[in-house]
């Protein structure tokens, strides 16, 4: 039998020779390609990044993640590589971008730039717009993780002594006794706290986005957990709750009795016009000796509380 291949077959001729007869192959199935995206091949990287952010990133990740990608593309990638054609982007361009940015930015920021550009070009490869990802041939900067040095027992005692009597004393006590991250602490609600059993579940975290602070679910499954409270943490929360109820109710008007108030929903309320950043900057460097140290995230604002202090006189407040 004459050998057969996908391209055709060899046929024995009457003269004794064999001849190759090409096969009639069916046409390739049509490829579903976004014509608008194909049109970006001949355009600049800036146009592709804008389309990528709108179609592939937005509504598929958290708002904070989307804003981070958009900010990196707008302020770092587009100013240097925005005029480069998508199909002409090379590892040399990418390497020059990292080298230039390392002169003024931290290693961590340049690594974020690499992650953003890598994801964008990876999507272009998956969409068959370009044959390869130019960032694959470039080694990103390596960020060395600094070892966390927790506070010593003496330093913890000094911290709690300094916070004693402060309006946000419970915040510092919880940070030291539980090791919750700052966003997790500011996202707590009284409905989560079980003072009788001495425990609380971590259900949400307070994040800062372009539209302001907002509550969101923890990012990972491991972050959703139940934390046991020490006796000191329970006592601090009880005192904090009593203080909040007193601030909400205020003194009773003359000739009237003070009614009962429902507990405010957030455990750590806003301080009015002053953001919590000024108050929490003192505890942002707290490092506990527990397995999960407190985060050092700064700049978080907590204006989500219904019981924040205002200039309204106490006598006019309602529960």
Percent of the chain with pLDDT over 70: 66
Tally of domains in the chain: 2
Provide the CB-side half-sphere exposure for 131 (13 A, CA).
2
Q: Which of the listed residues 91, 111, 137 is the one where a domain comes to its end?
A: 137
Q: Is the pLDDT of residue 300 over 80?
A: no
Burial of 125 (0-12, 13-18, 19+ CB in 10 A): middle
Cα–Cα distance for residue pair 135/241, rounded to 1 Å = 53
Q: What is the tens place of the pLDDT at every residue in 100-125?
A: 999 999 999 999 999 999 999 999 99
Cα–Cα distance for residue pair 290/67, rounded to 1 Å = 33
Q: Say which DSSP state 243 is in.
A: H
pTM: 0.56
**Do 125 and 180 sit in the same domain of this protein?**
no
Determine, yes or no, domain membership for 117.
Answer: yes
CATH label of the domain that carries residue 191: 1.10.443
**Do 80 and 198 sit in the same domain of this protein?**
no
Determine, yes or no, domain membership for 1.
Answer: no
Per the CB < 8 A criterion, the answer to whether 308 and 270 are in contact is yes
Per the CB < 8 A criterion, the answer to whether 53 and 66 are in contact is yes
Per the CB < 8 A criterion, the answer to whether 34 and 129 are in contact is no
Q: What is the tens place of the pLDDT at every residue in 142-155?
A: 888 778 888 899 99
**Do 157 and 241 sit in the same domain of this protein?**
yes
Q: What are phi and psi of 139, to 5 degrees?
A: -80, 120
Q: Of the given ranges (93-107, 111-125, 185-199, 285-299), which has the lowest mean pLDDT?
A: 285-299
**Do 206 and 271 sit in the same domain of this protein?**
yes
Determine, yes or no, domain membership for 3.
Answer: no
Domain that holds residue 128: 35-137
Pairing of strands 4-5, 8-12: antiparallel
**Do 61 and 161 sit in the same domain of this protein?**
no
Cα–Cα distance for residue pair 69/57, rounded to 1 Å = 9
The residues with which 201 forms a beta bridge, in sequence order, are 226
pLDDT-derived band at 88 (thresholds 50, 70, 90) equals: very high
Question: What pLDDT, on the 0 to 100 scale, is given for residue 7?
Answer: 57
Q: Which residue has the higher pLDDT, 18 or 167?
A: 167
CATH label of the domain that carries residue 97: 1.10.150.130
Q: Say which DSSP state 27 is in.
A: P
Q: Which of the listed residues 111, 137, 163 is the one where a domain comes to its end?
A: 137
Determine, yes or no, domain membership for 28.
Answer: no
Q: Is the pLDDT of residue 31 over 60?
A: no
What average pLDDT does range 242-267 have in this prediction?
65
**Do 204 and 79 sit in the same domain of this protein?**
no
- Residue 98 to residues 111, 133, 280, 316: CA-CA distances in angstroms? 9, 16, 35, 58
Question: What pLDDT, on the 0 to 100 scale, is given for residue 83?
Answer: 94
Q: What is the CA radius of gyration of the chain?
A: 30
């Amino acid at each position: 039998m004459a050998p057969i291949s996908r391209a055709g077959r060899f046929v024995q001729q009457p003269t004794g020779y064999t001849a190759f007869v090409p096969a009639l192959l069916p046409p390739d199935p049509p490829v579903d390609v976004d014509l608008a995206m194909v049109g970006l091949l001949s355009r600049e990287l800036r146009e592709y990044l804008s389309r990528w952010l709108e179609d592939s990133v937005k509504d598929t990740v958290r708002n904070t993640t989307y804003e981070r990608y958009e900010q990196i593309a707008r302020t770092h990638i587009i100013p240097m590589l925005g005029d480069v054609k998508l199909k002409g982007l090379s590892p040399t361009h990418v390497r020059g971008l990292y080298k230039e940015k390392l002169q003024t930015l931290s290693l961590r920021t340049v690594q974020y730039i690499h992650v953003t550009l890598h994801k964008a070009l990876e999507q272009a490869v998956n969409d068959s717009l370009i044959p390869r990802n130019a960032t694959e041939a470039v080694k990103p900067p390596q960020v060395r993780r600094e070892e966390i040095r927790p506070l010593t027992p003496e330093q913890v005692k000094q911290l709690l002594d300094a916070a004693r009597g402060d309006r946000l004393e419970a915040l510092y006590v919880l940070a030291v006794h539980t090791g919750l991250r700052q966003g997790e602490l500011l996202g707590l609600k009284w409905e989560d706290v079980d003072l009788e059993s001495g425990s609380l579940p971590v259900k949400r975290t307070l994040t800062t986005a372009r539209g302001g602070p907002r509550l969101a679910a923890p990012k990972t499954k491991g972050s959703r957990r139940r934390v046991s409270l020490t006796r000191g943490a329970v006592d601090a929360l009880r005192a904090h709750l009593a203080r909040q109820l007193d601030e909400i109710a205020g003194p009773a008007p003359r000739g009237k009795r003070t009614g009962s108030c429902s507990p405010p929903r957030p455990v750590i309320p806003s301080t009015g016009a002053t953001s919590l950043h000024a108050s929490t900057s003192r505890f942002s460097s707290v490092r506990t000796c527990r397995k999960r140290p407190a985060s050092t995230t700064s700049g978080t604002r907590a204006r989500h509380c219904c019981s924040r202090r205002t200039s309204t006189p106490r006598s006019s407040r309602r529960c």
